[in-house]
Amino acid sequence: MVNVSSFETSHVHSRSPTQSEMKKGKIEEKAKTVPFYKLFSFSDVTDVLLMIVGSIGAIGNGLGFPLMTLLFGDLIDTIGQNLFTNDIVELISKICLKFVYLGLGTFVAAFLRK
């Protein structure tokens, strides 16, 4: 015959805590932390290289929007200064080409970031 009381008590003690018990402070879990200087102690050359490439890609991707704002300002200035001249299309085409280069550069930087 199986002793039911011993089974129930062993089952109760092996259960995971509920959220209400954790909120009430009945069960405390200590968070394991690592000092910053030991965070990268297990990285090898490949990990360091990937972190450097990813950081450069993130910087390049982050520079895309401010550079686009500057180019848009140049575009508006060009339109305003050359509104009644014959070479406005050529001047705007040069700025639009810079937009294309910026888009391609941002695409490459976003690819490197991943």
pTM for the model stands at 0.58
How many domains does the chain contain in total? 1
Q: Which residues does 91 contact at the CB level (< 8 Å), separation at least 6?
A: 78, 82
pLDDT in tens, 71-106: 999 999 999 998 888 888 999 999 999 999 999 999
Burial class of residue 74, CB neighbours in 10 A (0-12, 13-18, 19+): middle
DSSP count for the chain of H helices, then E strands: 5, 0
Q: How confident is the model at residue 38, as a pLDDT?
A: 83
- Which pLDDT tens digit goes with each residue over 16-63? 666 666 666 655 567 788 888 888 888 899 999 999 999 998 998 899
b/e per residue 2-32 (b: at least 16 CB within 10 A): eeeeeeeeeeeeeeeeeeeeeeeeeeeeeee
Q: Higher model confidence: residue 3 or residue 48?
A: 48
Q: What is the pLDDT of residue 20?
A: 66
Find the domain containing 43 and state its range.
4-113
